[in-house]
Amino acid sequence: MQWNWAFVAEITPTLLQGLKLTLLITLLSAIVAAVLGLVFAIARRSPNRLVARPVSFLVEFIRGTPLLVQLYFIFYVLPDIGILLPPLVAGVIGMGLHYATYTAEVYRAGIENVPRGQWEAARATNLTTRQTWVHVIVPQAVPPMIPALANYLIAMFKETPLLSAITVLELMNQAKSVANSSYRYIEPMTMVGVFFLGMSLVSVVILRWLEHRYGRLGK
């Protein structure tokens, strides 16, 4: 086994295409997970049991089953009942939904951390439920959650290779297909590792900054 720089140069453009797709998937899934997670968290707190119970069950169900199984289900089983999603969409929904259940827990912890007095004060000043959430609770609950949310973002990024099971040609799948035709694994797999590490380090820096910028609210 010898490291071949010429081969690295030859495969880098292909791998970069995979990396672009990996980043796109992570970004879209992160948005889905962030928004849906908040919806889950708020719905679980709903005083209406008809809302809270089913949502709780759904969240526990998704959290308790493997992402890979869910992806197979979304991609190969849903078409049987007429829902045919393109691989990328299926992947984003699968990842987003799965991670939404994790972020929902983060949100829950953040929301429960807002002192009771804040709720009471909101009620005393005659704010509606919506106003209470938008202007009082969420702005105080979100900043302390940033580090935990960032953790899940990085975890999600590193789980994108699972999508190769549903034929998404992301970074890992591109590397595999390169290895398939060249019979060499050392360069493609090393490059995949380097790309992932590089992107993770960059995102850590960005998230640190975010934390620094917004995380100290109220202290």
Partner 1 sequence: MRKTLLTLALLAAPATVLAETLDDLKAQGFVRIAIANEPPFTAVAADGKVSGAAPDVAREIFKRLGVPEVVASISEYGAMIPGLQAGRHDAITAGLFMKPERCEAVAYSEPVLCDAEAFLVPKGNPKGFKSYADIAADPTATIGAPGGGTEEKLALEAGVPRDRVIVVPDGQSGLKMVQDGRIDVYSLPVLSISDLLTKANDPNLEKISPVEGAPVYCDGAAFRKEDTALRDAFDAELAKMKESGEFAAIIEPYGFSAAAAMSTSRAKLCGE
Q: Does residue 24 interact with partner 1 by CB under 8 A?
A: no
| In the complex, least distance from residue 9 CB atom to partner 1, rounded to whole angstroms | 18
Nearer to partner 1, 15 or 111 (CB): 15
Residue 218 DSSP code = T
**What type of residue is 116?**
R
Query: Taking a C-beta distance cutoff of 8 angstroms, is the pair 49, 61 a contact?
Result: no
Gap between the Cα atoms of 187 and 201, Å rounded = 21
Provide Rg for the chain, Cα atoms: 21
Residue 167 zone, left/alpha/beta (φ > 0; ψ -120 to 50; rest): left
Q: Does residue 173 interact with partner 1 by CB under 8 A?
A: yes
Q: Does residue 68 interact with partner 1 by CB under 8 A?
A: no
Contacting range for partner 1; rule: CB under 8 A; set: 38-46, 62-70, 182-190, 194-202: 182-190
Gap between the Cα atoms of 219 and 86, Å rounded = 46
| In the complex, least distance from residue 27 CB atom to partner 1, rounded to whole angstroms | 20
For residues 116-145, which are near partner 1 according to CB under 8 A? none
Nearer to partner 1, 87 or 147 (CB): 87
Q: How many residues bind partner 1 (CB under 8 A)?
A: 18
Q: Does residue 162 interact with partner 1 by CB under 8 A?
A: no
Helices and strands of the chain, counted as H and E runs: 10, 0
| In the complex, least distance from residue 29 CB atom to partner 1, rounded to whole angstroms | 21
| In the complex, least distance from residue 185 CB atom to partner 1, rounded to whole angstroms | 5
Contacting range for partner 1; rule: CB under 8 A; set: 47-55, 76-84, 129-137, 206-214: 76-84
Gap between the Cα atoms of 88 and 169, Å rounded = 9
Place of tokens 């975010």: 210
Contacting range for partner 1; rule: CB under 8 A; set: 55-63, 120-128, 144-152, 177-185: 177-185
Phi, psi dihedrals of residue 216, rounded to the nearest 5° = -100, 10
Gap between the Cα atoms of 69 and 82, Å rounded = 19
Q: Does residue 167 interact with partner 1 by CB under 8 A?
A: yes
> Which residue ranges make up the site for partner 1 (CB under 8 A)?
14, 76, 79, 84, 87, 164-165, 167, 169, 173, 176-177, 179-181, 183-185
